[in-house]
């Protein structure tokens, strides 16, 4: 077995036990990148030199008998909207194509303290706005399972990289499904933690009340390891929650006897692909056979999540993206005759169409005359959706729904009508609206051999239950073991 195909837990253990060196791991992964990256285009930037320098230092410390952390020597890819000190952070936008942060995001600091090695930054939809990574201004990332198809988005580069073994694990961000949906399209595990569990400091803001950082991995156990590393209160992020530190690896138990799994049948009856539906039903049966109790639940307002999302997320985006004015950093237009023209030209040249569309929609719903009808109403419906979930969790421990209504689609298939692309997020968006944790685990394949995701959702800050159900499902189905041929 090649080193590049190992999981985080395997690599960390082998390095710790001196079975392999950190350099050997990096050699294996970078060699793999050399062979595969050309076809997949998952990376925006590779950080080979820094990675090897860091590997030498970590190996020295290890050889001196030091503990180098639970991810000691493990390579990781980082979505390009997470700030990395001295490494370009572009958000796959022309606006930030030359932006080099002078500080690390808190999650990066935490990863480095745990011994991880950053091997590159991954492609994404510009400013994390999109569901296919086609909105990247830099390159087109392909789905390793079929190079004619999209990897999903917005963390498409991270998902594709993990899927074809050019990164053992990656970080992504999830505002409306941007970790779980590409994980589902690429047959990897994608975890969106509870809002507030992971610091957003140094993460380029899209919609601040919804954004959350999380891992994309080859196994649920690896997701637990990464969550152990990145979770925790951060005084630099006032919305990070002050809750006691937990060891999520304790949830890695093959046991769901007596767990109550909620199924919102009505919510998932419309517009779902036949193959996805079939896989989902089979998966529910598997859970039942493993001793879980399947309980029918109602999520009456979940179907209003998408319009609510596109009001709240764009409103927050229009405000967050106001900072890109061509003055302090980012793209500045060359020709202008006044300050106002500098703003307008810099923004018009720097942003792509989808980003402009969302800024415009957000400005619209916040403008006087429409604020009450859209934004305020959206916030109220958000309350109704949260209450829906609260009621559901009185009856069950974890909710199971498909991650997406369809599997990966072909390039260009959904780009002409933005609304059609938005509908792909129908099953992931409610989770962000309610701030809950959700995980997508490989859950089967459609008739074309494209991956299908199985999504689990739990109460806020109940990642333990979530991971335990996800782990048991993974262990007893093994869909995550199947790899694409690239």
Partner 1 sequence: MSVSREEVQKIAELSKLQFSENELEKFTKDLSNIVDFADKLAKLDVEGVKPTAHILDIQNVFKEDNVKPSYKREEILKNAPSAQGGCISVPKVVE
Residues designated as active site:
79, 154, 178
Contact call for residue 405 and partner 1 (CB under 8 A): no
List C-alpha distances in Å: 382 to 219, 311, 389, 439. 32, 11, 11, 21
Contact call for residue 342 and partner 1 (CB under 8 A): yes
Q: Are 230 and 111 in contact (CB under 8 A)?
A: yes
Q: How far is the CB of 135 from partner 1 (least distance, A)?
A: 14
Q: How far is the CB of 137 from partner 1 (least distance, A)?
A: 16
Contact call for residue 45 and partner 1 (CB under 8 A): no
Question: What is the separation, in whole angstroms, between the first and last Cα of the chain?
Answer: 16
Contact call for residue 196 and partner 1 (CB under 8 A): yes
What residues between 365 and 384 interact with partner 1 by CB under 8 A?
A: 365, 367, 373-374, 376-384
Tell me: cis bond preceding 154? Omega within 30 of 0 counts: yes
Q: Which is nearer to partner 1, 65 or 271 (CB)?
A: 271
* The only residue of 23, 293, 294, 329 in contact with partner 1, by rule CB under 8 A: 329
Q: Which is nearer to partner 1, 176 or 330 (CB)?
A: 330
DSSP three-state, residue 389? helix
List C-alpha distances in Å: 294 to 15, 133, 194, 286. 42, 35, 24, 11
Contact call for residue 323 and partner 1 (CB under 8 A): no
User: Measured between alpha carbons, how far is 286 from 69 in angstroms, rounded to an integer?
Assistant: 36
* The only residue of 308, 320, 440, 477 in contact with partner 1, by rule CB under 8 A: 308
Sign of CA dihedral 28, 31, 37, 43: positive
Residue 117's closest CA among 202, 64, 58? Answer: 58
DSSP three-state, residue 244? coil
Q: Which is nearer to partner 1, 357 or 475 (CB)?
A: 357
Contact call for residue 238 and partner 1 (CB under 8 A): yes
DSSP three-state, residue 24? helix
Q: Which is nearer to partner 1, 289 or 372 (CB)?
A: 372
Q: From 49-57, 104-112, 253-261, 338-346, give the range in contact with partner 1 by CB under 8 A.
A: 338-346
Q: Which is nearer to partner 1, 269 or 337 (CB)?
A: 337
Q: Are 453 and 443 in contact (CB under 8 A)?
A: yes
* The only residue of 302, 434, 467, 469 in contact with partner 1, by rule CB under 8 A: 434
Contact call for residue 391 and partner 1 (CB under 8 A): no
Token pair 């967050």: residue: 320
Using CB under 8 A, count the residues that bind partner 1.
68
Contact call for residue 102 and partner 1 (CB under 8 A): yes
Q: How far is the CB of 419 from partner 1 (least distance, A)?
A: 5
Class of residue 238 by CB neighbours under 10 A (exposed 0-12, middle 13-18, buried 19+): exposed
Q: How far is the CB of 396 from partner 1 (least distance, A)?
A: 19
Q: For 94-161, give the DSSP string.
A: STTTT---SS--HHHHHHHHTT-EEEEEE--SGGG--SSSTT-SS----BTTBTTB---SSSHHHHHH
Q: How far is the CB of 196 from partner 1 (least distance, A)?
A: 5
Instruction: Check residue 204 and report its DSSP letter.
Output: P
Contact call for residue 239 and partner 1 (CB under 8 A): yes
Q: Which is nearer to partner 1, 110 or 347 (CB)?
A: 347
Alpha helices in 208-352 (DSSP H): 220-230, 274-289, 305-320, 339-350
* The only residue of 257, 274, 328, 478 in contact with partner 1, by rule CB under 8 A: 328
User: Measured between alpha carbons, how far is 269 from 281 in angstroms, rounded to an integer?
Assistant: 12
* The only residue of 57, 265, 285, 360 in contact with partner 1, by rule CB under 8 A: 360
DSSP three-state, residue 322? helix
Question: C-alpha dihedral over 361, 365, 368, 373, to 10 degrees?
Answer: 150
* The only residue of 21, 50, 363, 415 in contact with partner 1, by rule CB under 8 A: 363
Contact call for residue 93 and partner 1 (CB under 8 A): no
Hey, which residues does 170 pair with through a beta bridge?
A: 77, 216
Alpha helices in 152-262 (DSSP H): 156-163, 180-186, 220-230
* The only residue of 5, 13, 336, 483 in contact with partner 1, by rule CB under 8 A: 336
Instruction: Check residue 205 and report its DSSP letter.
Output: P
Q: How far is the CB of 273 from partner 1 (least distance, A)?
A: 21
Contact call for residue 88 and partner 1 (CB under 8 A): no
Residues at the site binding partner 1, with contacts judged by CB under 8 A: 98-100, 102-103, 195-196, 208-209, 235, 238-239, 241, 301, 304, 306-308, 310-311, 318, 325-332, 336, 338-340, 342-345, 347-348, 351, 356-357, 359-361, 363-365, 367, 373-374, 376-384, 386, 417-419, 422, 434-435, 460
């Amino acid at each position: 077995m090649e080193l590049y195909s190992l999981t985080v837990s395997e690599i960390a253990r082998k390095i710790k036990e001196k079975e392999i060196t950190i350099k050997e791991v990096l050699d294996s992964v970078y060699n793999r990148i050399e062979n595969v990256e050309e076809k997949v285009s998952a990376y925006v930037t590779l950080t080979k030199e820094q990675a090897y320098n860091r590997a030498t230092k970590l190996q020295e410390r290890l050889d001196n008998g030091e503990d180098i952390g639970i991810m000691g020597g493990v390579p990781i890819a980082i979505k390009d909207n997470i700030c990395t000190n001295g490494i370009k952070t572009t958000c796959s936008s022309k606006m930030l194509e030359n932006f080099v942060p002078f500080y690390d995001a808190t999650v990066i600091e935490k990863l480095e303290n745990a011994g991880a090695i950053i091997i590159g930054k991954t492609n994404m939809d510009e400013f994390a706005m999109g569901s296919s990574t086609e909105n990247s201004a830099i390159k087109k990332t392909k789905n390793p399972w079929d190079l004619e198809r999209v990897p999903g988005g917005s963390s498409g580069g991270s998902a594709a990289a993990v899927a074809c073994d050019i990164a053992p694990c990656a970080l992504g961000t999830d505002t409306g499904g941007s970790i779980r949906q590409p994980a589902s399209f690429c047959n990897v595990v994608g975890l969106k933690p509870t809002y507030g569990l992971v610091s957003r400091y140094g993460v380029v803001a899209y919609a601040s009340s919804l954004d959350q950082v999380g891992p994309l991995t080859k196994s649920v156990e690896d997701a637990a390891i990464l969550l152990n590393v990145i979770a925790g209160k951060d005084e630099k992020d006032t919305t990070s929650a002050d809750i006691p530190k937990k060891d999520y690896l304790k949830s890695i138990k093959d046991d769901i006897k007596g767990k109550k799994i909620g199924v919102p049948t009505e919510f998932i009856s419309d517009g779902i692909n036949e193959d996805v539906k079939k896989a989902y039903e089979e998966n529910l049966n598997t859970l039942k056979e493993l001793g879980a109790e399947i309980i029918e639940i109602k999520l009456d307002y979940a179907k209003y999540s998408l319009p609510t999302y596109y009001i709240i997320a764009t409103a927050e985006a229009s405000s967050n993206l106001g900072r890109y004015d061509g003055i302090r950093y980012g793209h500045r237009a060359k020709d202008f005759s006044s300050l106002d023209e500098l703003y307008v030209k810099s923004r018009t040249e720097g942003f792509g169409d989808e980003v402009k569309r969302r800024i415009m929609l957000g400005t619209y719903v916040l403008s006087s005359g429409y604020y009450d009808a859209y934004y305020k109403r959206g916030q109220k419906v958000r309350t109704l959706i949260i209450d829906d979930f609260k009621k559901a969790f009185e009856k069950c421990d974890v909710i199971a729904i498909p991650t997406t209504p369809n599997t990966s689609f072909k390039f260009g298939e959904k780009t002409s009508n933005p609304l059609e692309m938005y509908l792909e997020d129908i099953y992931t968006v409610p989770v962000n609206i309610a701030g809950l944790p959700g995980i997508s685990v490989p859950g089967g394949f459609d008739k074309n051999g494209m991956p299908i995701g199985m999504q689990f959702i739990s109460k806020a800050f109940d990642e333990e239950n979530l991971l335990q159900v996800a782990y048991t499902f993974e262990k007893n189905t093994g869909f995550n073991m199947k790899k694409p041929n690239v």
